[in-house]
Structure 1
Amino acid sequence: MEARKIQMGRRFQAAALFAFALSVCAIVAAQVRVDVRLVNVIVTVTDSHGRYIPNLTENDFIVEEDGKTQHISHFSQDRNVPVSVGILLDTSGSMDRKIRTAVDAVDRFVQRIHQDDEFFLMTFSGRPVLRQDFTNDREKLSDSLRRIIPTGGTTLYDAMAEGVRKIADSSHAKRAILLITDGQDTASVSRLEDVLERIRISDLVIYPIGISPLTYAKGSDRNAWGWPLPGLIRGKTGIQNKRDQVDMTVLRAFAENSGGRAFLLGETLIGRGGQIEKILSVIAEELRSQYTLGYYPPRADDGLYHSIRIRTRAGDAVRARHGYLARSS
């Protein structure tokens, strides 16, 4: 009889533990489902002189979705928060005389920023190729950069699509893509509209740098620092080849749909390396000066596009993505 009581007691304990485990799993699953609904937005705030504004609180911000104010559920600004950065580097044939400058600048950029940041390196010409998976080993990344040889066409859209897909595997919640190219797409399978849609549903910021072979770039009438450009510029071979133009319209679309910023490096034969390093320093500082805001949307799974507007009560300049595409239920 005593043995039977002990056996029944053990069965009861086992059943209770099993029920407890199920309840814990249900709670965790519910938390995961709720967290998936959270919309995170990376926000850059600057004053009238373009200087980053620190030390704001969540009470300084107003977040609107489709014109309706939302409650901020998550807020942070931490200069030491680790970042996952995807580096997309154009290695098409037209980059031949520029690749060393770009590689050297990227290498110094990687060596300088936070030790916990991680990177992957993807090159693109005829197709996107992952040269280095996520790592925080600077020497590994430097070695991969030094092995690059430019050749082939420009699969810009394919590279961005693959880069956005890859950055989703990152270890860190804050994600950015650095894109360096000197041309426009000539060989992608992906459509621009599909790539932009993928960007809209992703939580990341994109920083494209266009390196123009001439002072003129498609979609721009100004150089890298905002000075007006002259009329038609002729190179050594005469009329400019359209494939050699940087398509700033596309690069700006990548940036604006993610809350990032696009840069144009014009034709400056002296000090071009210094210019790209200056741009990379600006990007590095911006990543350390941003705020992250999160809110739970009223309609998280309707499969529709929803506009986002973020502003400060003081009326500062705010840069963030303009909306997101909700996932379908």
Structure 2
Amino acid sequence: MKRHRYLEIGCLTLSVLAAGIFGPASATLAPTRQAHAQETQGKQSPPRKTRPKTGEEDQERPQGKTAISVSVDLVSLNVLVTDQKGNVITGLKPEHFAVYEDNVKQEINHFAPVEANITVVMLVEYSKQVFYLYSGYEVWNAIYTFAQSLRPGDWVAVIGYDLRPTILSDFTQDRAKLYDALRRFNYPAFSESNLSDALIDTLDRVEELEGKVAVLLISTGLDTFSKHTYDEALKKCQASSASVYAISLGQNFRIRADAAGYISPEGNLELLMSDNRLRSFADYTGGAAFFPRFVTEFPSIFQDISNQLRNQYSLGYVSSNPKKDNKLRKIRVDVTADINNDGKPDKLKIHTRKGYIAKEL
């Protein structure tokens, strides 16, 4: 096994160990078809993409990795529009939007400028390098602060990862269950942080959920021995309809350690690469990346994320390209609007996913 060095602190060299920190999960986001039928009886859960919604239907828990069939191939986009300062732009109409697939303009068949509830999976790194170097307190504080920001109707699940991802709380609207998941982040046993594996697994689990779905990735961005490559994780992000919002751990520690000369040049390079991973995962999915130095920044970050998710425009179109060739289709969304009423279109920023995979049915 090849050892990988991240940081040198005095005589201490951090190396990774092949093992995991979490025991068996008591709930799963992706049960079998039979388990799904048994589990969802009498329960409310966020909706799935298995059939058109009606106002009279009970909601079901979203379960990933189950077979579905879709009669109309509607490509759904959650689009956030902001000005150059990051202020969210609301009140836009369908005629303000233009959607292009592989540079071919598409007809918008669905448009909904609504403030909606959100479905979020918190994907949280919790390994020895987080606990010892970056302080487990950051992790606990992040989960607690986010739970405080929830509104009625929001759904949240919690997944922790080191060697492998483990579900600590299935989708719930109960804050007490989230606090219980927080208590399961106890003393870490191992140092692995397989980020690409954990992210791909999580995006697989949420791909059949409908509505505004996000993965809240709380991580150092470091990746040790993932079976999946960084490029594979990026391709998964491109194919996903979920937005990734990344929050970096350990920025304050890194600044202080670097100033004291405790980080080697190789370690600095690896840390810069870890930041780039988080930015890329967010950018490819239309999300955002944050790099807080202090835990006191968490409330404003979560408020920003919540505001962005709740004020996205929901767009949909049927591709003019009927081929199902498992290839990437690139998506571009343009917005032309005179927000300032000065007779000129304003320069606006559009945040949405960059593309999707035209999967064979």
TM-score (norm. length: structure 2): 0.71
Q: Is the 8 A contact 2:199 2:233 kept in 1?
A: yes
Amino acid at match of 2:124: L
Match of 1:317 among 349, 352, 355: 349
Tell me the secondary structure at the aligned position of residue 108 of structure 1: helix
1:201 and 2:223 aligned: no
Tell me the equivalent position of 1:69.
105
Q: Which residue of 2 aligns with 1:185?
A: 223
Deviation at 1:180, TM superposition (A): 0.7
Q: Residue 84 of structure 1 contacts residue 167 of structure 1 at CA under 8 Å; is this kept in 2?
A: no
Q: Return the offset for 1:240.
A: 6.6
User: Which residue pairs with 2:32 in the alignment?
Assistant: none
Gaps of 5+ in 1: 1-27, 218-229, 267-271
- Note the alpha carbon deviations across 1:61-112, whole angstroms, 9 max, x for none: 1111111211111111222x22211100010112115322332232222232
Aligned mates of 1:284, 1:235 — CA distance in 2:
37
Choose which of 77, 83, 95 in structure 2 pairs with 1:59: 95
Please point out which of 236, 252, 262 is paired with 2:289.
262
1:88 aligned to 2:123?
yes
**Matched letter for residue 164 of structure 1:** L
Q: Which residue of 2 aligns with 1:159?
A: 198
Distance 2:252 2:348 in 1: 35
Secondary structure of the residue aligned to 2:108 is coil
What is the rounded CA distance, in whole Å, between the counterparts of 1:206 and 1:83 in structure 2?
13
Query: What is the aligned-residue identity percentage?
Result: 28
Give the distance between the partners of 1:106 and 1:83, measured in 2 at CA. 16
The residue identity in structure 2 corresponding to 1:49 is K
Task: Provide TM-score, normalisation by structure 1.
Answer: 0.77
93-102 or 139-148, which deviates more: 93-102
Task: Please state how far the C-alpha of 1:292 moved relative to its aligned partner.
Answer: 1.2
For the residue of structure 2 that corresponds to 1:187, the secondary structure is coil
Q: Is the 8 A contact 1:251 1:262 kept in 2?
A: yes
* Greater CA drift, 97-106 or 283-292: 97-106
For the structure 1 residues 235 and 94, does the alpha-carbon distance in structure 2 shift closer, same or farther, using more than 3 Å as the test? farther
CA contact (8 A) 2:207 2:242 kept: no
Q: How far apart, in 1, do the equivalents of 2:173 and 2:252 lie?
A: 35
Of residues 315, 323, 343, the one that matches 1:293 is: 315
Query: What is the rounded CA distance, in whole Å, between the counterparts of 2:300 and 2:231 in structure 1?
Result: 31
Q: 1:201 to 1:139 in 2, by over 3 A?
A: same
2:341 corresponds to 1:306? no
Structure 1: distance between partners of 2:149 and 2:331: 33
In 2, are the aligned partners of 1:102 and 1:276 still within 8 Å (CA)? no
How far is 1:236 from its partner? 6.9
C-alpha deviation, 1:113, in angstroms: 2.2
Opposite residue 181 of structure 1, the aligned amino acid is: S
- CA 1:168–1:130: 2 relative to 1, 3 Å: same
Q: Tell me how far 1:199 sits from its aligned partner.
A: 2.1
Change (3 A) 1:250 1:46: same
Cα contact 2:221–2:278 (8 A) shared by 1 = no
Cα 1:275/1:237, change in 2 over 3 Å? same
Per mean C-alpha deviation after superposition, the further-off stretch among 103-112 and 61-70 is 103-112
- Separation in 2, partners of 1:55, 1:107: 33
The 1-side partners of 2:203 and 2:122 are apart by: 11
In terms of fraction of residues, the more helix-rich structure is 1
Matched, 1:252 2:279: yes
Q: SS of the residue aligned with 1:180? A: strand
Q: What secondary structure sits across from 1:34 in the alignment?
A: coil
What does residue range 10-29 of structure 1 map to in structure 2 within 5 Å?
Answer: none
Paired with 1:240 and 1:95, the residues of 2 have a C-alpha distance of 20
Say what the alpha-carbon RMSD is for the aligned residues. 2.5
**How far apart are 1:142 and its partner, in Å?**
1.1
The question of whether the paired residues in 2 share the 8 Å contact of 1:213 and 1:245 is answered with: no
Match of 1:274 in 2: 296
Name the counterpart of 1:148. 185
Q: Secondary structure at the match of 2:302?
A: helix
Q: Is the 8 A contact 2:329 2:355 kept in 1?
A: yes
Unpaired segments of 5 or more residues in structure 2? Answer: 1-51, 53-68, 338-346
Larger radius of gyration: 1
Shift of 1:216: 6.2
Q: Deviations over 1:3-25 (max 9, x none)?
A: xxxxxxxxxxxxxxxxxxxxxxx
